[in-house]
Amino acid sequence: MKPDVTLDILKQAILLEYRGKAFYTNAAESSKDPDVRNIFQIMAAEEDDHIRFLTEQLRHYREGGKFDFVEATSYENETITDEVITKSIVEKLSAVSFEAAAISLAIDMENRAITAYSERSAAATDPDEKKFYQWLAEWEQGHHLLLYQLDTELREKIWTDNNFWAF
């Protein structure tokens, strides 16, 4: 891709992360349960990490026309799923709660980020740029996994509570 297009894409990626942070911060502030609020606060903090990382990559790209993969390896895609999804959290959520709706919306938001980064990776002609956007897509998949597992646990709880299981 042309450098000006790459810079525009990086700026759009940073904006996407700011929007994610705002969403998670608002969800945390609106949540009534402290444990559920903590999930959204963790996700907002993760978005902060993404913003810092992408801003640093933007700086590297502006200065040298390339990404800093040394720094990228320090942000390995760690999943926080086991730390966040506990039986207590699932018990506190309700299918009709604000938090459940926020989780559903967040899944869609993470899906859009994964798709955007994957498409940018596919369109890139520079091998490092291609690798960079693929790496970002995989990073977002960690968030998606957390939210999807939480949504799945919630759905199964509701099905069990309402005898929706066929067996």
In a domain, 167, yes or no: no
Confidence of residue 164 (pLDDT cuts 50, 70, 90): low
The string of pLDDT tens digits covering residues 111-155 is: 888 998 899 899 988 888 888 888 888 888 887 888 888 777 777
- The whole domain housing 43 covers 3-159
Q: What is the DSSP letter of 66?
A: S
Tally of structural domains, the chain: 1
In a domain, 89, yes or no: yes
In a domain, 110, yes or no: yes
Give the highest mean pLDDT range of 74-83, 103-112, 157-166.
103-112
What CATH number has the domain bearing residue 12?
1.20.1260.10
When the pLDDT of each residue in the chain is averaged and rounded to a whole number, the result is 78
Nearest CA among 42, 54, 60, 45 for reference residue 147: 42
In a domain, 27, yes or no: yes
The string of pLDDT tens digits covering residues 7-29 is: 888 898 899 899 989 999 998 99
CB-based contacts of 20: which residues, under 8 Å, 6+ apart? Answer: 43, 47, 50, 109, 110, 113
Residue 1 CA, chain-centre distance (Å), reads: 25
